[in-house]
Amino acid sequence: MKKDKLRNGKVLFSDYSLGEGVRKALTLSRDDILFEVKDSKLKGRGGAGFPVSTKWMLGAAAIAERKYIICNADEGEPGTFKDRVLLVEYPELVFEGMIIAGYAIGAKYGIVYLRGEYEYIRKSLEDYLNLMRNENLLGKNILGKEGFDFDIKIHLGSSAYVCGEETALIESLEGNRGEARNRPPYPVNTGFMGMPTSVNNVETLSCIPHIILKGGDWYRNLGTDKSTGTKLFSVSGDCERPDVYEWEWGITINEILEKVGAKNTKAVQVGGASGICVPKSQFDRKISYEDIPTGGSIIIFDENRDMLKVLKNFMEFFVEESCGQCTPCRIGNVKLLEGVKMIENEQYTFAYLDKLKDLAKTMQIASKCGLGQSSPNSFISILENFKNEIFYHENGVENGK
Amino acid sequence: MLVFEKTSLAKEIEQLIEKYGNSRSVLLSILQEIQSKHRYISDYAQQEIARHLKIQPVEVYSVISFYAFLNSEPKGRNIVRICKTISCDMKNKMSIVKAIERELGIKMGETTSDNKFTIEYTNCLGLCDEGPAMAINERVFTKLTPQTAVQHIHKVVG
Ligand SMILES: Cc1cc2nc3c(=O)[nH]c(=O)nc-3n(C[C@H](O)[C@H](O)[C@H](O)COP(=O)(O)O)c2cc1C
Ligand code: SF4
Ligand code: FES
């Protein structure tokens, strides 16, 4: 199945025909696959950047009656929409990545946790799964490989950002409130229904068929030393061409701005609301695990934007989306938002703001899951990098210099 | 709730249990189906679901209260959700909100008197490159102008 090429990229947005990856994978042994993935140095694209091979090797080593592969399609980080593009335009990559993961780990069951907001994509995904069943890419004895059975179900979420966190996602799948669990134990040991479960992001899984086809060393030669391969970027905000792009890791912010037609940019939020806000003086920094890592959200602000308003929008998001289970995050985000409103109304003291910055640091350490640990990032980086604008009312042009 | 409404809801829930089974992990799928058909999950529905799954009704309620797309109070037959997160906000989502509020004669969070529409805010819909974005039930609409937003709403039947 070939289709018209809409997008361009070296890995994900390159040519691919349905079944190629799985066909090749089934000629290899499980160990060979784990080796290729290790060799590629692929890291998880959901944000945390955990090495995929390490997770899979633990999964493969686990002995259990059932194992699960979960595709995390809960994409909810503000400014992120690349997984949507993969699900809509490249479902074969996502599903084949899951099948290959199942083969490598010894799992028979795949679940796609699709965010409630993406319900409109569900039908086309179900149709695609049926097509793959007809081609025997799913089901029993896949492509004639005796004993290799694998099938995929789609599970819809009901809108909760925190359900993207892997243990909250599993709670949600089990029919509970999406409240993050303590880790360890990690899902690879004790996951869905207490069984070994590998939770991987849509984009991570989509890289797998290409890595299996062309080899781990081919993939490793793209990108930088510690950030191998390419990354999908969801670009939105003040620019001429907002869209999803595939670029190699190591690209600088300046290069991105140039490619998407951004003018008079004063700030770039990298990594969504839980990421950091980068001022103009740092636009030569590289997007990579070595410098600024990201799940791929790039939001661009030009000189006319009010950075305090931006921060307020982010903090409102976290107040709403905190699951409320632990105190630093439940109360902390409310206090940080109050602080932003105090600045807005000019009712703050610097002494109090210093206390809030301490609180922000406490949240980063003491929160139970990544939501509370990273929600203070924008508070800290925006107040620090844009203090001229926010506290001294200088015009935006001078910001961050 | 009228008696015949109760019986038909009880039947519906029984059929869902037949379709999905009665383990705890099917709770969300069942709630989603009730929600999409009735636009809310009544106390009675919660009790029935709890009975089948052998859990306390309060556990069902606790799950409903957690998720933004599930609710235990009646809403309009169609739910309009406008994205308020940063990228749509920058694309002037307020002009969309105001146009819809004017057109329907209600404020965000309210339901029209004929029960046709509830309008509310939502967080990022994953369409930030095509903002401002909104959803009407499960369909999404992008690159809105105040005019097109209102046109989409007027096209809704039922
Ligand atoms: C609050 C929060 C939200 C998250 N949302 C997502 C998400 O939408 N998609 C995703 O793949 N990972 C998300 N993650 C990361 C997952 O917990 C997990 O690390 C990831 O699914 C692992 O897959 P990967 O190794 O392929 O990245 C989120 C984490 C946190 C703390
Ligand atoms: S950090 Fe926030 S979202 Fe995570 S468990 Fe604690 S309260 Fe819930
Ligand atoms: S910010 Fe509105 S869709 Fe993402």
Report how far ligand 1's centroid is from the alpha carbon of A73 (Å).
9
d(C-alpha B80, C-alpha B94), whole Å: 15
Q: Give the residue from chain B lying closest to A243, CA to CA.
A: B129
Residue type present at position A342: M
Ligand that lies nearest to the alpha carbon of residue A52, given by its number in the listed order: 1
Query: Which ligand neighbours the alpha carbon of A208 most closely?
Result: 1
Residues B46 and B106 in one domain: no
Residues A41 and A184 in one domain: yes
Both B54 and B96 in one domain: the answer is no
**Residues A320, A391: one domain?**
yes
Last residue of a domain, which of A200, A220, A240?
Answer: A220
For A211-262, write each residue's pLDDT tens digit.
999 999 999 999 999 999 999 999 999 999 999 999 999 999 999 999 999 9
Q: How many domains does chain A have?
A: 3
**Got the DSSP string for A77-145?**
STT--HHHHHHHH-HHHHHHHHHHHHHHHT--EEEEEE-GGGHHHHHHHHHHHHHHHHTTSSBSSGGG-
Please list, in sequence order, all residues whose beta carbon lies within 8 angstroms of the beta carbon of residue A79, skipping any fewer than 6 positions away.
A234, A236, A237, A269, A272, A273, A297, A298, A299, B85, B86, B87, B124, B128
Q: How far is Cα B36 from Cα B20, in angstroms, rounded to an integer?
A: 16
Examine the fold and report which residue of A302, A322, A355 is the final residue of a domain before the chain moves on: A302
- A320·B123 Cβ contact <8 A: yes
Q: Is A158's CB within 8 Å of B28's CB?
A: yes
Q: Is the pLDDT of residue A290 over 50?
A: yes
Q: Is the CB of A69 under 6 A from ligand 2?
A: no
Peptide bond into A184 cis (omega under 30): yes
Report the alpha-carbon distance of residue A219 to residue A8 in Å, rounded: 16
DSSP H helices in A305-366: 307-321, 327-344, 350-366
**A317/B85 Cβ within 8 A:** yes
Distance in Å, CA A319 to ligand 2 centroid: 11
Which SS3 state, helix, strand or coil, does residue B17 take? helix
Q: Report pLDDT digits (tens) over A56-108.
A: 999 999 999 999 999 999 999 999 999 999 999 999 999 999 999 999 999 99
Q: How far apart are CA B81 and CA B115, in angstroms?
A: 16
Cα A4 to ligand 1 centroid, rounded to whole Å: 31
CATH number at residue A356: 1.20.1440.230
CATH number at residue B44: 1.10.10
The whole-chain average pLDDT of chain A stands at: 95
Dist. CA B30–CA A117, nearest whole Å: 17
Task: Chain B: give the shortest CA distance to residue A341, in Å.
Answer: 17
User: What whole-number distance in Å separates Cα of residue A60 and Cα of residue A62?
Assistant: 6
Instruction: Please name which of A55, A64, A319 lies closest in space to residue A199, comparing C-alpha atoms.
Output: A55
Q: Of B34, B66, B98, which residue constitutes the final position of a domain?
A: B66
CA distance A371 to A77: 10
Considering the domain architecture, whether residues A325 and A257 belong to the same structural domain is answered as no
User: Do residues A242 and A349 both lie within one domain?
Assistant: no
Look at chain B and report how many structural domains it folds into: 2
Q: How far is the CA of B90 from the centre of ligand 3 (A)?
A: 10
* Residue of B82, B87, B121 to test ligand 3 pocket, by largest number of atoms within 8 Å of CB: B87
pLDDT of A3 reads: 53
Same domain, yes or no: B94 and B37: no
A78 prior amide bond cis, ω within 30: no
Determine the distance separating the centroid of ligand 2 and the alpha carbon of B119, expressed in angstroms.
Answer: 28
Tokens standing for residue A253: 């912010």
Interface of B with A in 65-124 (CB under 8 A): 66-70, 84-87, 89-90, 122-124
Same domain, yes or no, for A53 and A145? yes
| B88 and B48 housed in the same domain | no
- CATH number, domain of A212, equals 3.40.50.11540
| Domain limits for position A380 | 307-396
Cα gap A275→A175, rounded to integer Å: 30
Q: Would the pLDDT of A18 be above 50?
A: yes
Are the beta carbons of A158 and B62 separated by less than 8 Å?
Answer: no
B18 touches chain A (CB under 8 A): no
* For A177, nearest residue in chain B (alpha carbons): B63
Residues of B in contact with A120 (CB under 8 A): 138-140
List B residues 34-63 in contact with A (Cβ-Cβ < 8 A): 35, 53, 62-63
A79 in the same domain as A26: yes
pLDDT tens, residue order, chain B (158 aa)? 778 888 899 999 999 999 999 999 999 999 999 999 999 999 999 999 999 999 999 999 999 999 999 999 999 999 999 999 999 999 999 999 999 999 999 999 999 999 999 999 999 999 999 999 999 999 999 999 999 999 999 999 98
Residue-range definition of the domain harbouring residue B35: 3-66
Name the pairing type of β-strands B117-122 and A297-302. Answer: unpaired
Under 8 Å between Cβ of A33 and A215: no
Q: Are residues A196 and A126 in the same domain?
A: yes
DSSP assigned state of A194: G
Residue from B132, B60, B119 nearest B89 by CA: B132
Residue B71 lies in a domain: no
Average pLDDT over residues A334-353: 97
CA pair distance A313, A319, nearest whole angstrom: 10
Cβ-based neighbour number of residue A37 at 10 Å:
26
Report whether A272 contacts A297 (CB < 8 A).
yes
SS3 labels along B64-83: HHHCCCCCCCCCCCEEEEEE
Instruction: List the Cα angle A271/A274/A278 in 5-degree steps.
Output: 55
Contact B86 A314 (CB under 8 A): yes
Q: Distance from the CA of A130 to the center of ligand 1, in angstroms?
A: 27
Taking an 8 Å cut-off on Cβ atoms, the answer to whether B126 and A176 are in contact is no
Task: Tell me if A9 is assigned to some domain.
Answer: no
Ligand 2 mutation target, pool A77, A162, A163, most atoms within 8 A of CB = A162
Establish whether residue A370 lines the binding site of ligand 2, counting it when its CB lies within 6 angstroms of any ligand atom: no
| Whether residues A42 and A191 fall in one domain | yes
Distances (CA, A) of B91 to A78, A301, B95, B120: 14, 12, 9, 18
Q: Three-class SS of residue A39? A: helix
User: Each residue of A138-175: pLDDT tens digit?
Assistant: 999 999 999 999 999 999 999 999 999 999 999 999 99
Give the position of tokens 């009665």: B22
- Tell me, what CATH number does B92's domain have? 3.40.30.10
Choose one of B66, B88, B119: the last residue of a domain. Answer: B66
pLDDT score recorded for residue A362: 97
pLDDT reported for residue B36: 93
Domain presence at residue B55: yes
The shortest CB-CB distance from A81 to any of B28, B66, B129 is to B129
> Is residue B99 located within the same domain as residue B142?
yes
Let me know if residue B148 belongs to a domain. Answer: yes
Q: Evaluate: CB of A326 within 6 angstroms of ligand 2.
A: yes
Residues B23 and B84 grouped into a single domain: no
Q: pLDDT digits over A297-341, tens only?
A: 999 999 999 999 999 999 999 999 999 999 999 999 999 999 999
Look at residues B15, B44, B66 and tell me which one is the last residue of a structural domain.
B66
Contact A154, A359 (CB under 8 A): no
